[in-house]
Amino acid sequence: IGKRIKELYADSPLERDLPIRQLTWDYATEGDVDEPDAERVLRELNGFNTVTGEHLSDASELRDDGTTACGGRLYCGVFPGPGRNLSRRRGGVADEATFFHNWAWAWPGNTRVLYNRASADPEGRPWSERKKLLVWDAALGRWIGPDVPHFEIAKPPSYQPAPGSRELDAIAGTEPFTIHFDGRGWLYAPFGLADGPLPVYYEPLESPVANGIIRQQMSPLTLVIRDTLNHISAEADPDYPLVLTTYRFTEHFLAGGMTRNDAWLAELQPSLFFEISPQLAELLGLEMLEWAVVETPRGAIEGRVLVTPRLRPLFVRGRSVHVVGIPMHFGYRGEIVGDTANLLSPISLGIGSDIASVKSFTCRMRRGRLHDEPCPEHNPEKRVPAPELDFSSVEWSAQPEGRLDYV
C-alpha cells in the first residue's frame, strides 16, 4: 500500500503532498505477499544515525540537525542494534526484584515506573525502603536503584538551575516531573486543560446519582450529539438504575475486527458476556451463563451472564449502586460474533480530546433474550429498528448462539 500511494502522488506539484512524496518506503520484502522486513521497519521506528547507520540506544541521542532519524520517539531504544530486538525478551520470575527489566521493553529507556525520582525525598533518600525505586549515590555521582532512572542520571538533588536555563537544565534536582517546565506535579494547571485550572469532580453524562460534591452535575463543556437516536437518560432515572462500563480483553484489539478473525484469540475469548456481581445476580434472579438483555435509551443487546466478585457494587450517598461490565470487542463479522456495546453507549465527546465518553453510563438489565421482549413498552420509539435483511446465508455471517436473524 505504501508503494502504491507513493506512485499515485509521485507527480503531484502540490506542497501539501510533499510528505507523501518524501516518504521512505524502500524496505526489502519477504513472503508470498511481499511484506516489508519487520526488523527494517523497527529500525526506522527505533531511530538511527543517518551518517553512520548505527541504531540509537536512547531518545537522548536524537538530534535536530539531520544526523538522526526516528519514526517514533516513544520507541527509541527498543532496537539498539542488529539482532537486539529488546521487545522479544521474556526474562524470568526471578526478575521481580528488578521490575522485570528483562521482560520485553518499556518507554522511556525501559523505565517501569514513570517519574520514579518521586520515590526519593528532596535529598535523594528513599521515602520507603520497601518501595524504593531510586536513590542518589553521592560516591558514584548518579542515581541508582532497581528501576531505570526516569531522570537525568547524573543530576544531583542539590542542582539548582541558573537564570535563563532552558529545557531540562531549567529543572532542579529535587523536581521529578520532567514533563512540566518546572518539574513539579500540578494540582493547579495554568494551561492545557479546557476545564482547568483546578480539578473538579463531575458525574458522567448519565448517572444513577446526583453529584454529591458540587451543584453542577456534569461538566458544562461536555459535547452531546443531539439526535433522535441518541436519547440521554435523565439524572438518577429510575428506569436505568445500573452503571454500565465497557472495557478491553488482553486477547482482543479495539472493536475486534482483526482479532475476531484470529482463531487462536477467538478461542481464548469466544463470546460476549455481561459481568455482574453476585449481589446483582441475586437481585435480578440471574445465574452464571444464563442469557440476559442489557438496555439503554438507545438500544439493547444480549449475552451470557458472568457472575464474579471482581465487579463489586458501589456505595454512593448511602445506597448500593450496581455495575455491569461489558467487553467492547464484538460485532457482526468474524470467526466469533456478538452484539456490540456501541449500540448502548451515548454519543458524547470528552472535554479535552473529543473521545467518546463510554466508560460510564446507565442501563437496566433483565433475564431472557432480545426476542422475548422486542421493545421497551414504556417508550418503544427509543429502540433503533433492526434492518429487514436476511444475512443468514452469507458466508461471513457467523451467528451468535440461537440467532439466525443477526445483522
CB 178 within 8 A of CB 151: yes
Per-residue confidence band for 196, with pLDDT thresholds at 50, 70 and 90: confident
Least trusted range by pLDDT, from 9-18, 152-161, 171-180, 388-397: 388-397
- pLDDT over threshold 50, residue 380: no
Least trusted range by pLDDT, from 266-270, 274-278, 367-371, 383-387: 383-387
One-character DSSP codes across 25-44: ----EETTTTEEPHHHHHHH
How confident is the model at residue 403, as a pLDDT? Answer: 55
How confident is the model at residue 93, as a pLDDT? Answer: 67
Q: pLDDT (tens digit, 9 = 90+) per residue, 66-82?
A: 999 999 999 999 999 99
The gap between the terminal CA atoms of the chain, to the nearest Å, is 30
- DSSP class of residue 120 equals B
- Compute the C-alpha angle 83/84/90, nearest 5°: 120
Alpha carbons within 13 A on the beta-carbon side of 259:
19
Domains detected in the chain: 2-87 (no CATH), 223-382 (2.40.40.20)
- Distance CA(95)–CA(101), nearest Å, equals 7
The mean pLDDT value for 385-392 works out to: 46
- Distance CA(306)–CA(336), nearest Å, equals 18
| Stated pTM of the model | 0.68
Task: Please identify which residue in the block is written with the cell numbers 520485553.
Answer: 104
CB 253 within 8 A of CB 330: no
How confident is the model at residue 354, as a pLDDT? Answer: 80
Per-residue confidence band for 195, with pLDDT thresholds at 50, 70 and 90: confident
How confident is the model at residue 399, as a pLDDT? Answer: 53
